[in-house]
Structure 1
Amino acid sequence: MGLDRAYERLTELAVAALHEREPERLWPLLADALTGLCGGETLIYKLDDWSEGKGTLGMVPAAAAELGRLDDEALGVLRSGYPFAHHYAAGLGRTPVTARRLADRAWPTSRTARVLGTALDLNQVLALPLPGTVAPITGCLVYRSGTDFSDDHVRIAERAQPLLAAVEQQRQLLERWRRSTAAAEEPEERAADRALTPRELTVLLLLTDALTADAIGRRLGISVRTVHKHVENIYRKLGTRDRLSTVLRAQRLGLVAAPARTGRR
């Protein structure tokens, strides 16, 4: 696949991801597509802090069974993140890089390379961290067998970074929305009845936080103009004209959580 087509595919992927209503399906959707776009055979993603003893490991659906066959020692080696953990923790940027380029001759004889070769028949790794993350450093690792990832594969990974960051922010906000409306009756059905898209739901949630359009844009990685477009759509779908009435109506409809009441004597 050429670079132009790969970039088009990333755009298509972004549209599909931002219309996904189930937050737990977002990363599997990304992982499945990114694996091929970056020239890999499988992919592991991390969404929380990793150590050799704990941390969530997600894998592309087609290869999830492989992860389940690894013992605790092998999982610990993968979680250690050699040679990327030290590189990124040292503050050396968030540019995607391969294990072979980073560790050079030390990579093929490393413990991690031996585990990958023995357990999964893989020998090359491309790190794709989320931009802007500090601690923990989140993102994904793409794996393949044979020769190292090409320069084009690394370029595609760099182009994918903003998409990953946007989708992860979307996932977190959808999870928060789901938790905050847990006590409401069928909030997802109510949102669907109002034809609110998942993106509009996240913007509505941030409106309840009293964030400005500029702040919402920075949070979601979109332009202020796009924020205003989402807000206009929310007003139209809820039949409101301003921010306050929109938030109040959304609370009455059970689309967002109402503020907790405090007792007075």
Structure 2
Amino acid sequence: MQGLPGGDARRIHDLALEIITEKQPVRVWPLLMARLTADLPCDLAVLIDLDWNAGTGHALTGSPDWLHEAPLDALIHAHMRSHPLLRHYAHTRDKTPLTMDEVADDRWWKGEAYRAGKEAIGIDRQLALPLSAGPGRIRGIIMSRSGLGFSDRDLEYAALARSLLDTVEANETAVLAYRGPADPAEYKITPRELAVLTLLCEGLTARAIATRLAITPATVTKHTENIYRKLVVHDRVSALRKAHSLGLVPAPRPNPDAEPPSPVR
């Protein structure tokens, strides 16, 4: 951290401390995304997971919260293979954070993919933090800002932030202990929605969930509505029963102190 200005070194230190000491694994990715957008700073950050060979992929989570309503998956499906940063990581398996300015030529800035992204979510300059992924897959964080490109200082910060991502991945693995065996992606449930669903299963109110995940109650309500729609249910009780039956969250543990039910007569 000696090469970074004192403020940046402190930000990286504080972020690492927050990740390591966070008691709720479901908060780790939202915490990281929010901090990256604030510390660089940038306008938005998106965690993506792509199957390069199949030409498909998903935006798993992002910051700010309005990105959850943006057509990110449609942009990915339409333009991922023409995206210079994604092409670079697909072909080289490089793990170095890079900017769009380092890998793109005039064809990108004049092309349909750039125009589509700028029109849909305002992306302009981009910086990628790649994560480890299996053969044929790309996983990482794409950060964007309007106007100004990323500086050498930004790249130094990104390189150090990238060093924390293995810790974040370990925390994400911890989330598996709180859910069932089903794959949430099969039901198009994002990590943020799974976090909300997990806390709904604990009986928390929207306000309590908002506090736990550092988001607003209105955002919790929107995520809850998305969960209901994806599970094809209309209320919390039905959502929890469906989530349990599908294996998205663990079945409720029996309470050893509860009285046995009365026999049916």
Structure 2 partner of 1:141: 142
Is residue 13 of structure 2 the alignment partner of residue 11 of structure 1? Answer: yes
The unaligned stretches of length 5 or more in structure 2 are: 182-201, 203-265
Q: Deviations over 1:80-124 (max 9, x none)?
A: 571122211222521111112201323311333111221122211
Structure 1 partner of 2:32: 30
Aligned 8 A contact 1:40 1:142 in 2: yes
Aligned 8 A contact 2:48 2:60 in 1: yes
Aligned 8 A contact 1:44 1:141 in 2: yes
Cα distance in structure 1, aligned partners of 2:42 and 2:79? 17
Structure 2 partner of 1:58: 61
Cα–Cα, structure 1 residues 87 and 53, in superposed 2: closer, same or farther, change >3 Å? closer
Cα–Cα, structure 1 residues 17 and 53, in superposed 2: closer, same or farther, change >3 Å? same
Cα distance in structure 2, aligned partners of 1:18 and 1:79? 33
Identity %: 28
Cα distance in structure 1, aligned partners of 2:24 and 2:38? 23
Structure 2 partner of 1:69: 70
Residue 93 of structure 1: SS of its match in structure 2? coil
Letter of the structure 1 residue corresponding to residue 75 of structure 2: A
Aligned 8 A contact 2:57 2:76 in 1: no
Q: Deviations over 1:166-190 (max 9, x none)?
A: 1112211x12333489xxxxxx9xx
Superposed, 1:224-235 pairs within 5 Å as none
Letter of the structure 2 residue corresponding to residue 118 of structure 1: E
Structure 2 partner of 1:106: 107
Aligned 8 A contact 1:77 1:115 in 2: no
Letter of the structure 2 residue corresponding to residue 13 of structure 1: L
Letter of the structure 1 residue corresponding to residue 28 of structure 2: L
Cα–Cα, structure 1 residues 123 and 163, in superposed 2: closer, same or farther, change >3 Å? same
Cα–Cα, structure 1 residues 139 and 55, in superposed 2: closer, same or farther, change >3 Å? same
Cα–Cα, structure 1 residues 67 and 77, in superposed 2: closer, same or farther, change >3 Å? farther
| Residue among 17, 40, 43 paired with 1:41 | 43
Structure 1 partner of 2:117: 116
Structure 1 partner of 2:261: none
Cα distance in structure 2, aligned partners of 1:159 and 1:81? 28
Letter of the structure 2 residue corresponding to residue 87 of structure 1: H
Cα distance in structure 1, aligned partners of 2:180 and 2:123? 42
Letter of the structure 2 residue corresponding to residue 9 of structure 1: R
Residue 83 of structure 2: SS of its match in structure 1? coil
Structure 1 partner of 2:164: 163
Letter of the structure 2 residue corresponding to residue 86 of structure 1: R
Letter of the structure 2 residue corresponding to residue 153 of structure 1: D
Q: Deviations over 1:218-238 (max 9, x none)?
A: xxxxxxxxxxxxxxxxxxxxx
Aligned 8 A contact 2:127 2:143 in 1: yes
Cα distance in structure 2, aligned partners of 1:79 and 1:56? 12
What TM-score do you get using the length of structure 1 for normalisation?
0.58
Cα distance in structure 1, aligned partners of 2:72 and 2:96? 31
Residue 58 of structure 2: SS of its match in structure 1? coil
Aligned pair count reads 177
Q: Deviations over 1:203-245 (max 9, x none)?
A: xxxxxxxxxxxxxxxxxxxxxxxxxxxxxxxxxxxxxxxxxxx
Cα–Cα, structure 1 residues 179 and 69, in superposed 2: closer, same or farther, change >3 Å? closer
Determine which structure has more spread, i.e. the larger CA radius of gyration.
1
Aligned 8 A contact 2:50 2:58 in 1: yes
Cα distance in structure 2, aligned partners of 1:25 and 1:81? 33
Cα distance in structure 2, aligned partners of 1:103 and 1:33? 27
Letter of the structure 1 residue corresponding to residue 41 of structure 2: G
Q: Deviations over 1:145-179 (max 9, x none)?
A: 0021111111110111111121112211x123334
